[in-house]
Structure 1
Amino acid sequence: MTEKISFRNVVKTFPMKGADFTALDGVSLDIADREFVTVVGPSGCGKSTLLNMAAGLDEPTSGEVLVDGGTVTGPGPERGVIFQQYALFPWLTVRQNVEFGLRLAGLAADERRERSDHAIELVGLTDFADALPKTLSGGMKQRCAIARAYAVNPRVLLMDEPFGALDALTRVQLQDQLLDTWSRDKRTVMFITHDVDEAVYLASRVVVMAARPGRIHRVVDVALPYPRTEEIRLSPEFGRIRNEVWHSVYHQGAAPAAA
């Protein structure tokens, strides 16, 4: 498959008193076009740092990050970024929030409306297009943030624990909503999470990272069919893969395992 995102021997260090801190050490990873990859690992393993470099919000100390074969040198419209915080403008409606990036891009009103309608429908917020964020639940606000990212038609979605602040039921509902959206209008997705069940349920591959220094511990294939259902979540095979990932995250040895 065609590589969409590539990390090439990425090293990231931060200056500290006395000595530099190595957040990432020699990370190499390819994510294919339209692939859904989750990244999970213990606190301090560099998950968010890796995503921020793919987004162009940070840069490696050495090594290279590429999207579509080109070196990432900063943010770009081909990459939509969704964080745990919703970051919606409270004085704008759902539609106005979704159209914000399109206005900055100078799109005409009719094209903005067409794109926002499509994105809002994808995330199931058509009935709330004229609502203000204060009237929405946490899950609906995050769906609005996802619609805003989709509206600018990115080729890549970079998601940093987007459901981390939600209650368990809403989180499961948003996982299903995201997979439904992805199946209908596929994008390459790199999804950061600390939740092993979420990592396995969403992804075709789970990248398990190790900390101090941050590195890839192993990559686990998730050979479960899409669409994912509650039956799959309760299946013995899901449980087997979940246990494999859990053990890889929380029972890591001192030395990194081969990916």
Structure 2
Amino acid sequence: MTSKPAATAKAATESKPAKISVRGVTKTFALGRETFTALDDVSLDIADNEFVTVVGPSGCGKSTLMNILAGLETPTEGQALVDGEEVRGPGPERGVIFQQYALFPWLTVRQNVEFGLRTMGMAKDERRRRAEHFIKLVGLERFADALPKTLSGGMRQRCAIARAYAVGPSILLMDEPFGALDALTRVKLQEQLLDTWSQDKRTVLFITHDVDEAVFLASRVIVMASRPGRIYDVIDVPAVERDEDFRLSAEFAQLRNRVWHSVYHQDGATAARTATRTT
């Protein structure tokens, strides 16, 4: 399997308006009589069809940022925009995939993938055609009539990805979707996701704790710092073939080491300097 990422981050954002814009977003939560700042003045642009990963230490606000973009949380200050419109709640243009598969256990793979299409009122024949297209795209055509309990964890997550793709979102928001899987399955799912993305492009924001995963998948890696959550560094990944040769290359090792250092050796001065960086 070989897949190519989107154009590098700067080229992507310079050639067309941002698909996702985060403008000075701050999010605070009440903790008794005190408040906790999960995000502090975060600004970020993501281009149409760009694949961006977000990595950082626990408590840096990665999931809070995704929840704001999904419309599940509202910023305390600032704005989150999709296609120039402020996010005011969940919308069909944004598909969300969590670490938990959230499949209906009493429905088959096909029925799970068709579920969103049914709620949209799509005709049965078109619903079936569309579901079968995305089931094939994620390599589950042999298991279309299987129940989730008979599938491996990786297969269940592929079903969740097919379901998200089927309703036609222009954006996929993915929060640690492979975090509960074993290492080998995780690598296979990373390759499968890139293969699916290369065939049927979407704008992807992918949250992970895994530095290798962040580098392998993305055209841009956003490193966040915690307490409060803010952007610490933005690292471009060259547009090269994403395959085993890339994983084992010196270039990958250098990128991995840079991201690792940014995640685990953060200093206050650099964090303050890059807190509102956009590219």
The TM-score, its normalising length taken from structure 2, stands at 0.91
Instruction: Flag as ranges the 4+ runs of structure 1 deviating above 3 A.
Output: none
The letter for the 2-side match of 1:244 is R
Aligned match of 2:119: 104
Query: How many Å apart are 1:118 and its aligned residue?
Result: 1.0
Given candidates 198, 217, 238, the residue that maps to 2:252 is: 238
Unmatched runs of 5 consecutive residues or more in structure 1: none
Aligned match of 2:88: 73
Aligned match of 1:194: 209
Query: How many Å apart are 1:224 and its aligned residue?
Result: 4.1
The letter for the 1-side match of 2:255 is I
Unmatched runs of 5 consecutive residues or more in structure 2: 1-15
Q: The residue matched to 1:63 in structure 2 has which SS?
A: strand
The answer to whether the 8 A contact 1:224-1:238 is kept is: no
How many angstroms apart in 1 are the aligned matches of 2:132 and 2:104? 18
Does 168-177 or 101-110 show the bigger shift? 101-110
How many angstroms apart in 2 are the aligned matches of 1:249 and 1:185? 31
Given candidates 148, 160, 167, the residue that maps to 1:145 is: 160
Residues 1:83 and 2:94 are matched in the alignment: no
Aligned match of 1:31: 46
How many angstroms apart in 2 are the aligned matches of 1:210 and 1:36? 21
Q: The residue matched to 1:157 in structure 2 has which SS?
A: strand
Aligned match of 2:8: none
Q: How does 1:36-185 map to 2 (within 5 A)?
A: 36-185=51-200
Aligned match of 2:262: 248
Instruction: Give the aligned CA root-mean-square deviation in angstroms.
Output: 0.8
The answer to whether the 8 A contact 1:55-1:74 is kept is: yes
Higher relative contact order (CA 8 A, sep 6+): 2
- How many percent of aligned residue pairs carry the same amino acid? 74
The letter for the 2-side match of 1:152 is V
Number of equivalences: 258
The TM-score, its normalising length taken from structure 1, stands at 0.98
Query: How many Å apart are 1:2 and its aligned residue?
Result: 2.6
Aligned match of 1:19: 34
